[in-house]
Chain A
Amino acid sequence: AQTVTQSQPEMSVQEAETVTLSCTYDTSESDYYLFWYKQPPSRQMILVIRQEAYKQQNATENRFSVNFQKAAKSFSLKISDSQLGDAAMYFCAYRNPNAGGTSYGKLTFGQGTILTVHP
């Protein structure tokens, strides 16, 4: 079974600085998708960025970028120019798009990392 591990329960960053959140995963599949979700205090789950495993290029979305190391099964999120609104819980998630049965569509989540942004 696939597992996702976020080893940093909490992280903090100064406003305008850069922070990197770590995520590792375990899978025997070669084709899969990885995601970072943001959960602010409102509890809403917001998709931040996604990466397709077969793509070599790291995904970027404005101030958010990933460092995807397929061989190492590592998928870290870098937030540049951190803003107060970035404070939230961040979840890393895995999905196998080709799985049938009970695995189709399922997102496997990590434990989450609470990010605090200091003014």
Chain B
Amino acid sequence: EAQVTQNPRYLITVTGKKLTVTCSQNMNHEYMSWYRQDPGLGLRQIYYSMNVEVTDKGDVPEGYKVSRKEKRNFPLILESPSPNQTSLYFCASSLGFGTPFQEDEQFFGPGTRLTVL
């Protein structure tokens, strides 16, 4: 089954304790992206990746890191989490640049609910 998976689905942690949220897709997608969802703000892009070893900042990158060493994986790293990073996080993927629009749907993972105390 074609899907985007995220782990963990729920996480409660404390300020300053490094954590990683994993994201994996099995559709051979080139483009991957992370969003955070907050009440009243919708979803905002954190980081994105056009392909392996190609990553760049989105609209709200502060406090986050990413890496793309393999095509299928795009982990989100919080080196020193703070309470303002409490949010619902989504990973998304799509075929990538140059794909005809009708074929370039973005697929979302199930979300990770993160609470930083």
Binding site for B on A (CB under 8 A): 4, 6, 9, 33, 42-45, 47, 52, 91, 93, 97, 101-102, 104-107, 109-112
Q: List 28 A-B contacts (CB under 8 A).
A: A9-B40, A33-B101, A43-B88, A43-B110, A44-B108, A45-B92, A45-B108, A45-B111, A47-B105, A97-B101, A102-B57, A104-B31, A104-B48, A104-B50, A105-B31, A105-B33, A105-B48, A105-B50, A105-B94, A105-B96, A105-B97, A106-B33, A106-B58, A107-B92, A109-B35, A109-B42, A111-B40, A112-B42
B44 touches A109 (CB 8 A): yes
Residues of A within 8 A of B110 (CB): 42-44
A9–B39 Cα distance when bound, in Å, is 10
Q: Chain B interface secondary structure, helix, strand, loop or mixed?
A: strand
For A42, the closest partner residue in chain B by CB is: B110
